[in-house]
Structure 1
C-alpha cells in the first residue's frame, strides 16, 4: 500500500467501496474532526458507520424526491436507508424515544414515515429482473424532517443497521429503471390531496445513476462537528463530483455487465456457509463455492474454537461488527429481561453507546482493572444483578486483556452472560469462546484484510447455560438478507487466506514493537505481549498463536508524535486489521470531543496506533526508522 494517498482519498486508493480515508497529517485529523472546509471538500469516503457514502446519500435523496408529496419534499425531508422493514422501524422508534425529552422535536418525530421498496415483478425488463431477483433487493427508507437528522445519524452509527454502499449502488440502478418500486402492501398509500400535488418527476434523465437536484452532507458524526461543516460548499462539491462520474455508464448497462456476467450471485449461499465454517474453526483452507457438498463436507478434525458441539449454525453474519454487538444486546434483553449490562475496559465508542442508549443502561468500568472486578464482585455479593458483561480481548487502543477466567467464574455464580469482542485478538491467536456465551467480531478488520467490505459475526457457545434461549431468540429474529449479497461474496473471497496473513502480521508487529521499545524518544509501547495483563492473554492464547497486529505507543513530547506521524510512510486513516500497515492518531479521531474524559482512563490524546500489515518486514522497519529520525530532528527538549 502506497503512503502517497492525498488528503481525502480512499484507502485503498481508487476503491469505490473503501472502508478507510486518507488523513495524512496530524493537522488533517484535527481539521477533519472540526469539519474544516479545506478537509471536508476533499473527503471522498470514510468509515461507513461514521460517514454515509455518497452512493447511499444520493439514493436517499432520490427516494425523497420521487416518493414524497410536494408538501413534505420542499427541501426539508431526509431519508435513512435500511435493508429491512424491521431495521427501519427500530430507527423510527429510536427517533421517537430520543425526542421525548426535546419538546420542539416531538411533533416532527410524530411525522416520521417509512417507505418500503421492493422488486417489481411486473417489470417489462425480464432479463434485468432475472439478474436482480438473485439478490432479493429491498430497501426501507425512514423519511423525516431534516432537523431530526443528527438523531437518525446516531442510530445509523451506533446500530450498524444501515444499507451498504454496494447495496445502494445496486438498488439505485433498479430504482432508476422503475424496477424497484414502493411496496403497496407495507407502505401507506398517498392521500388524494398528496396525489394531486405530486409534481411530474422526470426520473428518466440520463446519465441516470448520478443525476440529482442537490446533495446535502450526511457525513459528520457529532453534532458539534456538523455545525461546522459548510453545507452549501458541500452541495456544490458533491454535485460536481457525481456529475463528473455520470458519464461512466447507464443503469441498464451497469446491471447487465456487473451482475449479469461478472458476479455470479447464485453462489452467495455457499459463500455464507464458507464464512460461517471458517469462523466456527472448521474450514481454514480455500473451497470450491460451486459445490455445496465441498463447502459443507464434514471435517474430522476438532474445531479451533475449543468448544465441543459448535457448528456453523451457531454463527450469525451481520452487515458489520457493531451490528453484531447491537443485535446480541437486543437478543439478551429479549431473553433475560430489562437489566443493566456491564461495559468493562476502555470501550470502542459505539459499544458503550449501545449499552447506554438501548435499554436500561450500563455499569461502566473504563480502566478494565482487577480493582474494578473487585468492585463488581462486591456489588454482586450485595445483590445487584446484571444482563451481560461486555469486553474486548484485548482492548483498543491500550491492548490490555481482561481476566476472562475470573469473569467467567463470576458470571456462572451470579448469572450474567459474557460477550467478548475478539476483533483485535482473533481466533488464530486466542481461544475465547470457552470463556464466553457469545463471541462477536468485526469481520471488516483482519478477517477481510482488504479494507473494501464490511461484515460482522456473533458466535453462540453451545456449552453456555444461556445457549438454548439465545439460540431460539437469534433464529427467530435473524434476517439473513440484511447482509448484502455482494458484500458476502467479497468477504468470502478476502478471508480465504486469513490464517496465513495473521501469522505474518503477528511477526511483523513484534518486530516493530522492538524498534519502538528501544528508542529513547518513546515513552510507552502498548502491546499484549508487553502488557501488565500478559498473563490473562496467555491463558487464552492458542498453541501457535501470537499477539496480534495492533499496537499503540506514545512519545515523551507531543511534538515528536506529530513529526513522526507526518513523516511515517504508511497509509494513514481510521480502521485496523488491514493487509497494509495503517497508522492513526486514534484518540484524536475516536474521542476528539471527549479527550479529557479519555485521559481520565489513562488514554492520552497524543497516542499513535499502528495496525501492522503483511509487508516485507525489513522495508517496514526502514519506514519506521525514517519516521523516528524525523522526530529526532526537532530536538529532545523537555516535556
Structure 2
C-alpha cells in the first residue's frame, strides 16, 4: 500500500504559518514535542522561533528589552515592556501583591517617549510609539511573566520592532530627558524604519523573506489608515458589517445601530479594542472591581486557564464551578438566596476545550435578581454563529482567532450591552479609563485579515461537522466534543443565529493514551497552540494548557489525553480522509 506523503510535516519550532515573522503559533508536530516543550527539553526549546505571544516572549521583544537594559538597567535586572505607564503601574502593583519581599525601589518604571521632529507629530499621534519598561530583579521574573501572561497587556512584536529602531536612532528617550530638551530641538529625523506594512519600492528579491510572506498579498497599507482600520474592525464586531467588503466600502456604509446583535441602541460606540482577548477579560474584571467594589467573581464552566487565574489573583478571589452544570447553578442560587453577593460571572460560550454551552438564560435571570454582571467570552462560538449579547453585560472575544484567521496578529474586543442593568455605571468607567493600546500595524493587519470573515465562517462550520461525522461512532474514539453533539446543545441552539452553525472547534478523546498518541502523531494537519486559524490546527490541548495540573483538570472532566482540533478552510473531503487515515493508524 502506498503511504500518503505528509503535507504538513513542519519542523519543531517553526512558525505557523511557516516563515511568518509575527506568527502567533509554533509547530509542535508530535506528542513527544509537546511534552518536551512543557518539560523545557533543549531539543524543543532551542528550536523555537516563536510561540503563543502571551506565553512566549517574541525574539523582537527580547532584543528591544536587551537594548533598554543595556542603557538603563542595573546589574542583575530584567525587564518587561508595556504600551503605557498605566499598564506598567498595574504590573508594579502586581509585584507588590505577589512579591511583597521586594522593596518599591526594586521594581521601577522607565517611560520611553518619542523625541521627533515637529513635522512627524501628526504621524506619532496616530501610532503612539511609546514604551513603559518595568525593571526588577531577575529572580522575580516568574512574577512579572505571570502578569504579562494573565493580563495580556504586554507589547506586540510589531510594536517592539518599530520602537526598537526608533530607540536605536535616538528617537525614543526616557521622559525626564525629554523634559530637559530644549523646546527648539527638533530631534533626530531619520528614525522611521521601513516596517511590515509600509515597505515601498523594494523588490521581493531584496526583502527579508519573512516580511515578504506577510506582504505578498498586498497587505502594505499606510499607517495613516490606522484610525479607519480600527473603525472598520469595530463595525465588524458590532455586526453592522456582515458582508465581505474592502476598507473603503466598510467606512462608506451607513451606521447600523442594531442589525446583528439585536440589542436596541447598540452601535460600534460600545465596542472597544484590546491587544488580545485576555486583555479584554482582564480589563473587564479590573473595571468592574473599580465600578462595583471589591466582590468575589464566579467562573462558570471549565474555562481557558488565564480567565480563572485573573479572577483568583486580582481582587478578593472567586467561586469556581468547573462543570458548568445545572446542579452548580442550583448551588449558586442557594448561595444567593442566603445572602452571598458577587461582582460578576465569567463564562465561555461554548467552553474550551469541552465545547459545553452554559444556560445563559438562567444565568441572566439570576444576575438580574441578585445584582451581578455577566461576562460572556464568545471566541469559540463567534457572533456570526451565536448572539449572546442580550444575555450579557459584557461580551469579550479573542480577535486573534477566527476573526483574523491568518495567525499573524493579536487582538481582542470588548462589547458593552447598552440595555444591561449596569450599563450607565460601567460605561462611565470605560470612557474615563480606556486606553487604545492596539498597535497601529497590528490594527491594519487585523482589518485586512477580517474582510472575508463571513465567508470563512460558513466553510469552517461545514468542515467541522464533516470531521465530527468521521470521528463519531469509530470504535477507537471514546468521545467527540462539539456543540452540535453536546448534552448542552439546547442552550447553544437558544442563542444560535438563523443560518448560524456550530463553530470550528472540536475535541476528541480515546480509550487509551497510546491510542491518543498514535492518532495525533499520524494526523496530517499542522500542529501547535492557538485556534481559529485558516488552516486546520491540532494540539494535545490539556498537555499544553494544564501540564502542571493534569490531575486537577481531570477532576473537572478534562482528560489529559484529549486532542483538540481547530478546523480550517481546506477541502472537506480531503480533511475527512486525513482524519480517517489517522484513525486507521491506531494499533488494533
TM-score, normalised to structure 2, is 0.91
Give the aligned partner of residue 94 of structure 2. Answer: 94
Give the aligned partner of residue 284 of structure 1. Answer: 242
Give the aligned partner of residue 224 of structure 1. Answer: none
| Cα deviation, residue 136, structure 1 | 2.1
Give the aligned partner of residue 517 of structure 2. Answer: 562
Contact 1:267 1:289 in 2 (8 A): no
Give the aligned partner of residue 221 of structure 1. Answer: none
2:225 counterpart of 1:267: yes
2:352 counterpart of 1:396: yes
Give the aligned partner of residue 106 of structure 1. Answer: 102
Contact 1:116 1:186 in 2 (8 A): no
Give the aligned partner of residue 388 of structure 2. Answer: 432
Q: CA RMSD in A?
A: 2.5
CA–CA separation in structure 1 for the residues paired with 2:124 and 2:62: 22
Structure 1 runs of 4+ aligned residues shifted over 4 Å read: 129-134, 185-189, 299-302
2:293 counterpart of 1:298: no
2:170 counterpart of 1:178: yes
2:162 counterpart of 1:157: no
> Which of 426, 450, 456 is equivalent to 1:501?
456
Give the aligned partner of residue 364 of structure 2. Answer: 408
For the residue of structure 2 that corresponds to 1:106, the secondary structure is coil
| Cα deviation, residue 497, structure 1 | 1.0
Deviations 1:489-528 (A, max 9, x none): 1000111111111111010000000110021100100111
| Cα deviation, residue 184, structure 1 | 1.3
Q: Matches of residues 55-66 of structure 1 in structure 2 within 5 Å?
A: 55-66=60-71
> Which of 94, 111, 119 is equivalent to 2:114?
119
Deviations 1:173-228 (A, max 9, x none): 11111111111179999xxxxxxxxxxxxxx9xx9x9xxxxxxxxxxxxxxxxxxx
| Cα deviation, residue 106, structure 1 | 2.4
Give the aligned partner of residue 357 of structure 1. Answer: 313
CA–CA separation in structure 1 for the residues paired with 2:180 and 2:143: 24
Moved more, 316-325 or 492-501: 492-501
CA–CA separation in structure 2 for the residues paired with 1:115 and 1:497: 41
Contact 1:287 1:295 in 2 (8 A): no
Give the aligned partner of residue 78 of structure 2. Answer: 78
> Which of 16, 26, 35 is equivalent to 1:30?
35
| Cα deviation, residue 66, structure 1 | 1.1
Structure 2, unaligned runs of 5 or more:
1-5, 182-189, 196-205
CA–CA separation in structure 1 for the residues paired with 2:561 and 2:466: 22
Change over 3 Å in CA distance of 1:473–1:570 after alignment to 2? same
Q: Matches of residues 529-544 of structure 1 in structure 2 within 5 Å?
A: 529-544=484-499
2:338 counterpart of 1:382: yes
Structure 1, unaligned runs of 5 or more:
190-203, 210-246
> Which of 19, 23, 32 is equivalent to 2:24?
19
Change over 3 Å in CA distance of 1:187–1:359 after alignment to 2? farther
Deviations 1:121-157 (A, max 9, x none): 259xx77x87656422100000111011100000000
Contact 2:240 2:256 in 1 (8 A): no
CA–CA separation in structure 1 for the residues paired with 2:345 and 2:50: 34
Give the aligned partner of residue 132 of structure 2. Answer: 140
Deviations 1:155-174 (A, max 9, x none): 00000010000000010011
TM-score, normalised to structure 1, is 0.84
Change over 3 Å in CA distance of 1:472–1:21 after alignment to 2? same
